Amino acid sequence: MLELKGVCYSAEDENREAEILKDINVTIEDRFIAVTGPNGSGKSTLARIIAGIIKPTAGQILLDGVDITDLSITERANMGISFAFQQPVRFKGITVRELLSIAAGKDASMAEICNMLSEVGLCARDYVNREVNASLSGGELKRIEIAMIMARGTKVSIFDEPEAGIDLWSFQNLIHVFEKMHGEIHGSILIISHQERILNIADRIILLADGQIKKVGSKEEVIPELLGAGAHCKTLTDKL
């Protein structure tokens, strides 16, 4: 169970304090939670705060009742938090096999690598010895990123816009991947997404707007709200 209590985050922006997250209070104990909201609403910041990449300016984060607010990224990772980046990182010289082995915490065998990669629609034979460098496409990197999180199989798995940079065919498969994870995982999956198809498989949706939680509820409760979110000026509303 992950709890956020009074979490705030502000950052300096052109010499003025910008409040990116304001007093976030939420408890995450469901299996599958989607976080959605307009661009700039603070979704990615929230994910980075949970993973420990940035520290909140106020508030507390608790994992199974333990305060992890001051713990490092590594400590949180070892306590059971995984984080799939929106923009996967490239590494010159590190192979897919090595990266997946680091994720799995052991020297993964060819059979294990095959198992991990086939989950995300990649054939291990073609990828296992490839370097995780610029020779891989954005979509391929994204799938490897997701495979790493699955290989870890931790209590909390966070995905920051997994659909970004993925083609339509891969997107269909991605939905299957998450449906499968939903059925198998023993922890919580938290997905930041704009995609209705991902929101549809969530047990609960958190709607963020302007750094605040606007609504938490089932898809029936939140999706209508979502369509009305963000007040536009007349010129834009007329065109929509």
Q: Which residues bind another protein (CB under 8 A)?
A: 51, 53, 72-74, 77-78, 81-83, 85, 87-89, 91-94, 98, 102-103, 105, 148, 152
For 30, the token pair is 């469901």
For 116, the token pair is 């991990």
Identify whether the C-beta of residue 124 lies closer than 8 Å to the C-beta of residue 108: no
Strand partners, 212: 209
Give the type of residue at 201: I
Whose Cβ is closer to another protein: residue 35's or residue 229's?
A: 35
Q: How far apart are CA 208 and CA 43, in angstroms?
A: 7
**C-beta contacts of 119-126 below 8 A and 24+ residues apart:** 119/147, 119/150, 119/177, 119/180, 120/144, 120/146, 120/147, 120/150, 120/173, 120/177, 121/170, 121/173, 122/147
Whose Cβ is closer to another protein: residue 87's or residue 137's?
A: 87
Tell me the CB-side half-sphere exposure of residue 102, using CA atoms within 13 A. 10
Closest contact distance (angstroms) between CB of 152 and another protein is 7
Closest contact distance (angstroms) between CB of 146 and another protein is 13
Closest contact distance (angstroms) between CB of 92 and another protein is 6
Whose Cβ is closer to another protein: residue 76's or residue 204's?
A: 76
Whose Cβ is closer to another protein: residue 81's or residue 192's?
A: 81
Whose Cβ is closer to another protein: residue 190's or residue 216's?
A: 190
Closest contact distance (angstroms) between CB of 83 and another protein is 5
Closest contact distance (angstroms) between CB of 89 and another protein is 4
Whose Cβ is closer to another protein: residue 147's or residue 209's?
A: 147
Looking at the chain, the number of H-run helices and the number of E-run strands are 10, 10
Closest contact distance (angstroms) between CB of 103 and another protein is 5
> What is the bridge-based pairing of β-strands 156-160 and 188-192?
parallel
